[in-house]
Amino acid sequence: MKRAPVLFVGHGSPMNAIGVNPAREGWNQMGEQLGNPEVIVAVSAHWMTKGRCVRRSDDNPQVNDMYGFPPELYAVHYEPKSSLEVADKVLAALGNKAQVKNEWGIDHGVWSVLSNMYPKADVPVVMVSVDLKASAEEHYEIGKKLATLRDSGAMIVCSGNVVHNLRLVNWDMDDGYAWAKGFDKKIKEFILAGKFEKVVNYADIDDYRLSIPTSEHFNPLLTALGAASTKDEITVFNEYCELGSMSMTSYVFQ
Ligand code: ZN
C-alpha cells in the first residue's frame, strides 16, 4: 500500500466552506489531485480537550460550532462515517497518551475543509482532539506516533491556522497585516528547509505573540510536522492571508 500523505490545512473563517473563495477552490483541487485515501485521521483545532481524545464510533455527528453566520452555512450537511478499526489503531499508536471520548463529532474546522476536498463524504474520518495542556514538543511527538498510520493508508489531516488572532480580525481586509504575512513566511521557510524544530520553538520567531495569541490553531501544524518526514516532498497551497490576522497557508507532505 502507498504511504498516505499528511496535510496541514488552514481553515480560517467558517464562511470559506461555501460560496466562491480561493480557500474552497484550493481544497477542491487538492482533493482531486490527491484522490481518495482509505481513511482520514483528522486533528481539529476546534476539538479542545484536557488530555488527548479520540472519537471511537462508526459515525461522525456534525457539530456546528460557529455562531452568528448566515443560514446557508448551517445548511451544509457533512457526516462521513468513521471506523472503529482505525480508531483502535489510532488509540494503539498513541498508547497511554490518549483516551476515548465520544461527546464530540466532526466540527467546522474539519467539515469546512473536507466537504470541499471530498464532497461525496465517501472517506471515513476518525476525529482526534487537541490537548489544551500539552506543550509544543508534545504536539509534535503525537504527530510522530500518528505517522505509523500513514503506512496503512491513513491520511493525516491537521486543521488549524498558522496565524490566527481573532481579536485583531478585520472583516474588511482580504489580505493580511505585514506582521501576519511576515510570520507566515518565516514558518514556510523553516518548513521548506526541513527545520521543523524551529517551528516547534516558535516562541523564538518575531511577532509570535500577535500571530499565536492562543495556540490551539497552531498546534495541529506541530502534529502535522511530527507525522511528516523530512524525506517527504512538500507542496504549499492556499498561500495567503485573510481578514488581516489569519493565514490560510497549507501544506501537503507526501
Ligand atoms: Zn478555526
pLDDT digits 0-9 by tens, 209-230: 999 999 999 999 999 999 999 8
**What is the number of structural domains in the chain?**
1
The owner of cell 521557510 is: 189
Nearest to 43 by CA among 31, 32, 55: 55
Separation of CA 235 and ligand 1 centre (Å):
22
- Rounded-to-10 torsion of CA 98, 104, 107, 109: -20
Q: What's the gap in Å between 232 CA and the centre of ligand 1?
A: 26
- The answer to whether position 112 is within a domain reads yes
By C-alpha distance, which of 238, 116, 240 is closest to 174? 240
pLDDT of the residue at 97: 85
Q: Is residue 206, in this structure, part of any structural domain at all?
A: yes
Cα 44 to ligand 1 centroid, rounded to whole Å:
8
96 assigned to some structural domain: yes
Ligand 1 mean position, distance from CA 186 (Å): 21
Per-residue pLDDT at 13: 94
Query: pLDDT value at position 1?
Result: 75
Please give the distance, rounded to the nearest whole angstrom, from the Cα atom of residue 1 to the centre of ligand 1.
Answer: 33
Query: What mean pLDDT is reported for the chain?
Result: 97
Separation of CA 2 and ligand 1 centre (Å): 31
Give a yes or no: residue 186 inside a domain. Answer: yes
Using alpha carbons only, how large is the chain's radius of gyration in Å?
17
What pLDDT is recorded for position 96?
86
> pLDDT tier at 124 (50, 70, 90 boundaries)?
very high
Is the pLDDT reported for residue 14 higher than 90? yes
Q: Within a domain: residue 24? A: yes
Distance in angstroms (rounded) separating the CA atoms of residues 26 and 31: 9
CATH code at 58?
3.40.830.10
| Segment 151-182, tens digit of pLDDT | 999 999 999 999 999 999 999 998 999 999 99
Is residue 1, in this structure, part of any structural domain at all?
no
19 inside domain: yes
Q: How far apart are CA 248 and CA 3, in angstroms?
A: 26
* C-alpha of residue 11 to centroid of ligand 1, in Å: 6
What pLDDT, on the 0 to 100 scale, is given for residue 67?
94
- pLDDT band, residue 190 (cuts 50/70/90): very high
Residue 190 CA to ligand 1 centre (angstroms): 23
pLDDT of residue 150: 98
Judge whether residue 68 has pLDDT over 80: yes
- Res 238: pLDDT: 98
Say if residue 47's pLDDT is above 90. yes
Which H helix or E strand runs over 251?
A: strand 250-253
Identity at 191, one-letter amino acid code: I
Is residue 204 situated within a structural domain? yes
pTM for this predicted structure: 0.97
Domain that holds residue 224: 6-253
CA distance linking residue 202 with residue 209, whole number of Å:
10
